[in-house]
Amino acid sequence: MKVIKAELEKVAVHEEQYPPEDIYEFAFAGRSNVGKSSFINAMLNRKNLARTSSTPGKTRTINFYRVNDDLRLVDLPGYGYAKVSKSEKSTWSGIINEYLEVRENLLEVILLVDIRHEPTAQDLQMFEYIIDSGYSGIVIATKADKISRGQYSKHVSTIAKKLGIKNKDMIIPFSSEKKDLVEEMWEIFEDIVKH
Q: Which amino acid is at 16?
A: E
Cβ closest to ligand GDP, residue 33 vs residue 62: 33
CB of 133 to ligand GDP, least distance (A): 21
CA distance 60 to 171: 26
How far, in Å, CA of 78 to CA of 85, rounded?
A: 14
Residue among 134 and 173 whose Cβ is closer to ligand GDP = 173
Residue 12 vs 42, nearer CB to ligand GDP: 42
Local structure of 125: helix, strand or coil = helix
Smallest gap from Cβ 16 to ligand GDP, in A, equals 25
Minimum distance of ligand GDP from residue 166's CB (angstroms): 26
Rounded to a whole number of angstroms, the minimum distance from the CB of residue 21 to ligand GDP is 25
CA distance 137 to 160: 11
Q: How far apart are CA 8 and CA 93, in angstroms?
A: 22
Between residues 58 and 105, which has the closer beta carbon with respect to ligand GDP? Answer: 58
Q: Which phi and psi (to 5°) does residue 46 adopt?
A: -125, 145
Binding-site ranges for ligand GDP (CB under 6 A): 30, 32-38, 52-53, 56, 78, 142-143, 145-146, 175-177
Which residue type is seen at 4? I
